[in-house]
Structure 1
Amino acid sequence: MSQPRTILTLNSGSSSIKFALFGHESRGERLMSGMAEFRPGGALLSTRDASGTTERREFPETGPEGALRGEMIGHILNHVETSVAGGKLSAVGHRVVHGGAYFTGPSRIDQTALAELDALIPLAPLHQPPSIAPMRRILQDKPDLVQVACFDTSYHHTIPEIRTRLPLPASLIDGGARVYGFHGLSYDFIAQDLAARFPELARKKVLVAHIGNGASLCAMHEGLSVGTTMGLTVLDGLMMGTRCGAIDPGAILYLLQQRNLSPKEVQDTLYYRSGLLGVSGRSNDMRVLREHMSDPQTRLALDMFVERFVQQAGGLIAQMGGIDALVFTGGIGQHDSIFRRDVCKRLEWLGVQICDAANAAGETVIGTGSASVQVLIIAADEETTIFRHTQSILERIDDS
Structure 2
Amino acid sequence: MSGILTLNTGSSSLKFGLYRDAPEPDLLLHGQVDEIGDNALLILNTGEERTKQKVAAPKPAAALEHVMQALAPHLSGLPIHGVGHRIVHGGMDFTKPTLLTGDVMAALARFNPLAPLHQPHNLAGVEAARTAFPDAVQVGCFDTAFHRGHPWVNDTFALPRAFYDEGVRRYGFHGVSYEYITGVIKTTYPDLHKGRLVIAHLGNGASMCAITNGKSVGSTMGFSALDGLPMGTRCGQIDPGVVLYLLTQKGMAPLEVMEMLYSQSGLLGLSGITSDMRALLASDDPQAREAIDYYVFRARREIGALTAVLGGIDALIFCGGIGENAAPIRSRIVEGLEYLNIKIDPAQNLRNARDIGTGSTRVMVIPTDEERIIARAVHAAIS
Tell me if both proteins adopt one fold, taking TM over 0.5 as the criterion. yes
Counterpart of 2:240, as a letter, is P
Partner of residue 125 from structure 1, selected from 116, 135, 139? 116
Check if 1:19 corresponds to 2:16: yes
Change (3 A) 1:66 1:107: closer
* C-alpha distance in 2 between matches for 1:376 and 1:69: 33
Q: Please report the TM-score for the alignment, with normalisation by the length of structure 1.
A: 0.88
**Could you say which residue in structure 1 is the equivalent of 2:44?**
47
Q: Check the 8 A contact 1:106/1:151 in 2, yes or no.
A: yes
Query: After the TM superposition, which residues 180-259 of structure 1 pair with which residues of structure 2 at under 5 Å, given as runs?
Result: 180-259=171-250
Q: How far does residue 94 in structure 1 lie from its aligned partner after superposition? A: 0.5
Query: After the TM superposition, which residues 233-312 of structure 1 pair with which residues of structure 2 at under 5 Å, given as runs?
Result: 233-293=224-284, 295-312=285-302
**Could you say which residue in structure 2 is the equivalent of 1:166?**
157
* C-alpha distance in 2 between matches for 1:6 and 1:372: 44
Q: Check the 8 A contact 1:330/1:380 in 2, yes or no.
A: yes
Change (3 A) 1:363 1:55: closer
* C-alpha distance in 1 between matches for 2:195 and 2:348: 23
Counterpart of 1:31, as a letter, is L
Q: How far does residue 39 in structure 1 lie from its aligned partner after superposition? A: 5.7
Check if 1:323 corresponds to 2:317: no
* C-alpha distance in 1 between matches for 2:60 and 2:30: 24
Q: How far does residue 298 in structure 1 lie from its aligned partner after superposition? A: 2.6
* C-alpha distance in 1 between matches for 2:57 and 2:335: 50
Q: Check the 8 A contact 1:44/1:56 in 2, yes or no.
A: yes
Change (3 A) 1:241 1:39: closer
Check if 1:93 corresponds to 2:90: no
* C-alpha distance in 2 between matches for 1:68 and 1:217: 31
Sequence identity percentage: 42
Q: How far does residue 381 in structure 1 lie from its aligned partner after superposition? A: 0.9
Q: Deviations over 1:64-116 (max 9, x none)?
A: x997567557546644432xxx6232200001111111100100111111111
For these two proteins, the number of residue pairs brought into alignment is: 382
* C-alpha distance in 2 between matches for 1:350 and 1:56: 45
Check if 1:394 corresponds to 2:379: no
Q: How far does residue 157 in structure 1 lie from its aligned partner after superposition? A: 0.9
Q: How far does residue 21 in structure 1 lie from its aligned partner after superposition? A: 1.0
Change (3 A) 1:206 1:70: closer
Change (3 A) 1:202 1:219: same
Change (3 A) 1:181 1:117: same
**Could you say which residue in structure 2 is the equivalent of 1:398?**
none
Change (3 A) 1:221 1:261: same
* C-alpha distance in 1 between matches for 2:171 and 2:74: 34
Question: Comparing 379-388 with 281-290, which one deviates more in the overlay?
Answer: 281-290
Counterpart of 1:330, as a letter, is G
Check if 1:81 corresponds to 2:75: yes
Partner of residue 367 from structure 1, selected from 354, 357, 370? 357
* C-alpha distance in 2 between matches for 1:46 and 1:345: 35
Check if 1:34 corresponds to 2:31: yes
Q: How far does residue 46 in structure 1 lie from its aligned partner after superposition? A: 4.9
Q: Please report the TM-score for the alignment, with normalisation by the length of structure 2.
A: 0.91
**Could you say which residue in structure 1 is the equivalent of 2:169?**
178
Counterpart of 1:261, as a letter, is M
Q: Check the 8 A contact 2:83/2:129 in 1, yes or no.
A: no
RMSD of aligned residue pairs (Cα, Å): 2.6
Counterpart of 1:350, as a letter, is L
Q: How far does residue 128 in structure 1 lie from its aligned partner after superposition? A: 0.6
Q: Highest CA radius of gyration, 1 or 2?
A: 1
Q: Check the 8 A contact 1:91/1:147 in 2, yes or no.
A: yes
Change (3 A) 1:299 1:137: closer
Q: How far does residue 329 in structure 1 lie from its aligned partner after superposition? A: 0.8
Gaps of 5+ in 1: 396-400
Question: Comparing 147-156 with 46-55, which one deviates more in the overlay?
Answer: 46-55
Change (3 A) 1:139 1:263: same
Q: Check the 8 A contact 2:156/2:164 in 1, yes or no.
A: no
Match of 1:158, SS state, is coil
**Could you say which residue in structure 1 is the equivalent of 2:330?**
340
* C-alpha distance in 2 between matches for 1:67 and 1:308: 33
Question: Comparing 295-304 with 152-161, which one deviates more in the overlay?
Answer: 295-304
Change (3 A) 1:34 1:290: closer
Partner of residue 372 from structure 2, selected from 356, 372, 384? 384
Counterpart of 1:266, as a letter, is V
Q: Check the 8 A contact 1:30/1:50 in 2, yes or no.
A: no
